[in-house]
Amino acid sequence: MRQFSKLEQRILNEFQHGLPLTPEPYADIARQLGVYETTVLETLKRLQTEGVVSRVGAVFRPNRIGASTLAAMSIPETELENVAEIVSSFAEVNHNYEREHHFNLWFVVVADDEKQLQDVLAEIEGYCGYPLLDLPLLNEYFIDLGFDLKWT
């Protein structure tokens, strides 16, 4: 199992929430951690390369900026990995995941506006060759996806 340095542990734990919304957020993080900005950037890049961190940035409430939707597809198990790669190749897809359900591939799509969103959904459907279920947000619920990481 990979051992995380004290700096990595602090970055992963302390900045899941409250990313500084300033002109130089990584410099601000570095000051709080007592390191150089380049150290923070190199550490985050390494964590992304290793697959520990998938994305660093602000999260906005759905449909406040642009348009977004949750989508699902029913994919044969033998093709799931290939189709997931195709879905992930779209810049508008912010993540996808497998679920134990008839609709076993789920993903979130974000676009500039509703027209672009529908165009991207149609393009994904066309590339993958499977029908897509568009599940737009009807009721908003806040789920805090931060994790209090415990280090042993």
Strand ranges across the sheet with 93-98: 93-98, 105-111, 67-73, 132-135
Average pLDDT (129-135) is 95
- Chain-centre distance for alpha carbon 57: 9
Task: Return the structure tokens found at 80.
Answer: 């799931």
Share of the chain above pLDDT 70, in %: 89
pLDDT digits (tens, 9 = 90+) for 2-33: 889 999 999 988 888 778 889 999 999 999 99
pLDDT band at 139 (very low <50, low <70, confident <90, very high): confident
For 150, list phi and psi in degrees, rounded to 5.
-105, 130
Domains in the chain: boundaries = 6-49, 67-135
Rounded Cα distance, 37 and 137, in Å: 38
CATH number for domain 67-135, candidates 3.30.70.3460, 2.40.30.10, 3.10.310.30, 3.40.350.10: 3.30.70.3460
Long-range contacts of 46-53 (CB under 8 A, 24+ apart): 47/8, 47/11, 47/12, 50/2, 52/2, 52/12, 53/12
What is the distance between the alpha carbons of residues 54 and 57, in angstroms, rounded to a whole number?
10
Interval 52-74 mean pLDDT:
80
